[in-house]
Amino acid sequence: MKLKLVPLVLAGAALLPGCFEEKAKEAAPATPAVSKEDAVASVNGTYISKKTLETLEKEISERSQGQTFPKEQLLEELIQRELLIQQALQKQLDKSPEVIERMATVRNSLLSQAALQDYLKANPVTDEEIKAEYDSKMANMGSEYKARHILVKTEDEAKKLIAELDKGGNFNELAKKHSIDPMGSEGGDLGWFTADRMVPPFSEAVVALENGKYSKQPVQTQFGWHVILREDSRALTPPPLDAVKEQIRPMLQRQKAQAMIENLRKNAKIEVMLPPTPPKPEEAQPAAPAESQAATPGEQPAAVPAEQAAPAPSEPAAPAAETKPAEPAAAK
């Protein structure tokens, strides 16, 4: 039966860095000889070791989120790779300037990663450091609020609604009858939300109200005029430490690695030869209103992009917004 080949080297761009690393190891003069007892195959007298097969299997599992392939397919891939390596060496491609430069790049990448991993191994993130980071981030998480609102086009309409509420009018019914917000049919219910999920004038009014109270003055936003009822509030509950411990660890590892690099740079003699890039002319753009950065009451807020940071070697990227727990769904 013909084996289905695994397109790792020939077409698997996602695995290309790992493949180059294996080529670099196999081509290096210091690579120890493989005995027949430790081999899984021989190609023109060159043995492929069990460890090489295990390494490839591990790489695939890590890079494809747990996906696995039969060992026979992985071995066929290694055989193909060895055939190509032998062909390249036969044609002395290892002596070409392009290949030498690329091999040097792979070597430098491996060494830089090894230096970071060595430092993090000697200076691991401790449970005490994780607990301190957890406490500092979770000490004051603030509150979330449950509210309803009635959205109308004019201030006069909002004032008339407040007058009706003062006479004992039912907020839910008034919202269903008068609100132009999509949630008006639900009595203006916005559910639970944090203050930063709403436009500033709206959230400021909600925070200023007491539970069970409605706004005595109309609240204006770029969407119209609001009458707001704050139904309830509660303190945000942080997730347990064990639930976020492994999310905090890579962030602290990055901090340690960055501190190490900064210390090396501070003690090094560095001269930058690259001429500075001339600044690009900036095109004049109209200023966006401040409220546009927050969610609209009754609409799903736009996702805020997390800060980008280079992950520590062999560690997953840190969660967005670091250790902050997931916020409640925005009001609709």
DSSP 324: P
User: What pLDDT, on a 0 to 100 scale, did the predictor assign at position 73?
Assistant: 93
Cβ–Cβ < 8 Å for 257, 114: no
Q: Would you say the pTM of this structure is higher than 0.95?
A: no
pLDDT tens for residues 53-71?
999 999 888 888 778 889 9
Mean pLDDT to the nearest integer, 79-96: 96
Nearest partner of 130 among 323, 325, 326, 327, judged by Cα: 323
Sign of the alpha-carbon torsion through 289, 293, 294, 297: positive
Q: 36-95 and 142-235 share one CATH topology?
A: no
pLDDT tens for residues 258-271?
999 999 999 999 99
Structure tokens at 250: 């890579």
pLDDT tens for residues 274-321?
998 888 876 554 443 344 344 555 553 333 333 333 334 444 333 333
What are residue 265's phi and psi, to 5 degrees? -65, -40
Q: Where are the domains of the chain?
A: 36-95, 97-141+238-266, 142-235
DSSP 273: -
Rounded CA gap, 169 and 25, in Å?
79
Model confidence at 80, pLDDT cuts 50, 70, 90, reads very high
- The architecture in CATH of the region 36-95 reads Orthogonal Bundle (1.10)
Whether the pLDDT of residue 9 is over 50: the answer is no
pLDDT tens for residues 217-241?
999 999 999 999 999 999 888 889 9
Bridge partners, 227 (sequence order) = 150
For domain 142-235, the question of CATH label 3.40.1190.20 is answered with no
